[in-house]
Structure 1
Amino acid sequence: MDTPVIAFIGAGNMATSIIGGLVESGTPASSIRAADPYPESLERLRGVAPVATFNDNAAAVSGADVIILAVKPQVMGEVCKALAPALAGSGALVISIAAGINISSLKNWLGAATAVVRCMPNTPSLLRCGATGLYASAEVSEQQKAHAGQILAAVGLVEWVPGEADLDAVIAVSGSAPAYFFLFMEAMIESGTRMGLERETATRLVQQSALGAARMALEDAADLVELRRRVTSPGGTTQAAIASFEAAGLRQIIDEAMQAAVDRSVEMAREMG
């Protein structure tokens, strides 16, 4: 696959992580550019990879094959409208990593013929072990779709979804999910401390257990139900804990929480659009 020229608009943590992953996986730094109004962000980025940096967004996208919009949703409309003249007729692919901004809004700001991919990477992408859901508009070619997948694969797992509305579920399932696990871990640490463990000890045990469980889920051929069954001896301590979770309606609590994330994502799209 030919190496595209990639321009990042915004050089924050996520953009820097993607750029670092691209360079580490073999993409030449000479094919990557980034623009940001904050000199300190560009300086930090140059410490990760020797890419060309700009203060002017239009200069950064000139001649680029792929433009990655890595700015806050609140300024996306302003940024896109300013870029529209530079992108007109370019045939460039635009990738947005902003939550709550739908493709119709992006095309309204950038131009109706713009090829757009929306994606939702999560924060573990900063460690290059993220999970990203992507959706492509009808204008996106197969080659552009391949480029988008290759770029986001530099920071973790990539999954394409068949409909844009599916990205709301992606946000609930993976985009917001790290916070769910952090909350569960917080609660476990608090309980362990209440039971008499030193906080540092409880923290290390919970963190390592979470890591080990995640690795088993990924690497063992058994499904999650079977993995849970193996740990849950009849009449044992784990069964007592699981029974308590089930009696408290844990599954319904999780379902309602994830639906709340979906509902907020839909609401944000209305607000931002």
Structure 2
Amino acid sequence: MGSAIALALDGVMANLSLTVVESDEDKARKLLGGQLDARIVGDSSALGSEQFDVCVVAVKPGDAVEALFSARANLQSSLIISIAAGTSLASLRQGAAVNARLVRVMPNLAAIVRKAISVGYADGAMSCEDRAFVEVVFGAIGHFHWLRSENEIDLATAITGSGPGYVFSFAQHLEEAAERIGFSKETADRFARQVIVGAAGLLDEDARSPLELKHAVASPGGTTAAGLAVLEQAGAMPRVIGQTVAAAAARARELAMEQD
């Protein structure tokens, strides 16, 4: 995720000076693919006394506070953007310098193709300029949305963070259903992928709501209506989707409690 953000920023920010701290330097170079002129160091001790305007914390949640603490001397007045899932601003503050400004952002996997939906929450020290900068950073990998409270990050994770997994699951089962009615695996795979891509394109470019688009596809008495009659039974997709999101949100809250 960190490399996706870095590569996207290279295309929207002039005079970008990037330093990557990654214990596996070869891994970092591979992820950046030689497309970005970045300094890569193995740990924060190599930073010396250099000060950074912005720091993106793209590490495992359990490592976020330690990572900030180890680089505290280099981040005395920095804007710190954490994408470490489940790590609260209060926890991050334990590793950050007193004058640092903190924001939590949760992007999703689609950042890789710059189609992400990212959500964020900032503490009270954030200026309008800081907020605008965050919007530029995450606008470079898709869409960005501010949340009203930090608690909403856990709720949003169940939709925006986990949502791609639900879509991939639907595509998988659509492909398998296509195979069961007689199509080859290759053809079924192509059908499932393009159905998702095409529908996503309509959602992105057509002003109609999902409900309106659904009705546009489903002619009364037609094949789509017959399929939807099964899919949308009270005990089918409406119940399953509700339970899916609730389970993901509950787990997000559990993980946040474990981190704190």
Q: Would you call these one fold, judging by a TM-score over 0.5?
A: yes
What secondary structure sits across from 2:221 in the alignment?
A: coil
Alignment of 1:1-273 (within 5 A): 14-29=1-16, 31-44=17-30, 45=32, 47-58=34-45, 59=47, 62-87=50-75, 90-111=76-97, 113-247=99-233, 248-273=235-260
Aligned-pair distance for 1:62? 2.8
- CA–CA separation in structure 2 for the residues paired with 1:27 and 1:151: 13
Tell whether the 8 Å contact from 1:103 to 1:116 is kept in structure 2 after alignment.
Answer: yes
Question: Which amino acid in structure 1 is aligned with residue 161 of structure 2?
Answer: G
Change in Cα spacing, 1:111 to 1:26, as seen in structure 2 (3 Å) is: closer
Aligned-pair distance for 1:167? 0.9
Change in Cα spacing, 1:79 to 1:243, as seen in structure 2 (3 Å) is: same
Residues 66-110 of structure 1 deviation map (CA, whole Å, 9 limit, x = unaligned): 1100111122232223223443xx221110011111111111232
Residues 137-170 of structure 1 deviation map (CA, whole Å, 9 limit, x = unaligned): 1111111111111111111111111111111122
Question: Which amino acid in structure 2 is aligned with residue 115 of structure 1?
Answer: R
Tell whether the 8 Å contact from 2:20 to 2:38 is kept in structure 1 after alignment.
Answer: yes
Aligned-pair distance for 1:173? 1.3
What secondary structure sits across from 2:103 in the alignment?
A: strand
- Number of aligned residue pairs: 257
- CA–CA separation in structure 2 for the residues paired with 1:61 and 1:23: 25
Change in Cα spacing, 1:204 to 1:165, as seen in structure 2 (3 Å) is: same
Change in Cα spacing, 1:77 to 1:242, as seen in structure 2 (3 Å) is: same
What secondary structure sits across from 2:144 in the alignment?
A: strand
Tell whether the 8 Å contact from 2:114 to 2:142 is kept in structure 1 after alignment.
Answer: yes
Question: Which amino acid in structure 1 is aligned with residue 205 of structure 2?
Answer: E
- CA–CA separation in structure 1 for the residues paired with 2:23 and 2:207: 48
What secondary structure sits across from 1:20 in the alignment?
A: helix
- CA–CA separation in structure 2 for the residues paired with 1:61 and 1:38: 22
Aligned-pair distance for 1:111? 4.5
Aligned-pair distance for 1:46? 5.8
Name stretches of at least 5 consecutive residues in structure 2 with no aligned partner: none
State the identity %: 31
Aligned-pair distance for 1:61? 8.4
What secondary structure sits across from 2:182 in the alignment?
A: coil
Q: CA RMSD in A?
A: 1.7
What secondary structure sits across from 2:71 in the alignment?
A: helix
Aligned-pair distance for 1:25? 2.1
What secondary structure sits across from 2:81 in the alignment?
A: strand
Tell whether the 8 Å contact from 2:52 to 2:74 is kept in structure 1 after alignment.
Answer: no
Question: Which amino acid in structure 1 is aligned with residue 18 of structure 2?
Answer: I
Change in Cα spacing, 1:61 to 1:118, as seen in structure 2 (3 Å) is: farther
What secondary structure sits across from 1:162 in the alignment?
A: coil
User: Which consecutive segments of 4 or more residues in structure 1 shift more than 6 A?
Assistant: none
Tell whether the 8 Å contact from 1:34 to 1:60 is kept in structure 2 after alignment.
Answer: no
Question: Which amino acid in structure 2 is aligned with residue 242 of structure 1?
Answer: L
Bigger mean CA offset, 116-125 vs 217-226: 217-226
Aligned-pair distance for 1:217? 1.0
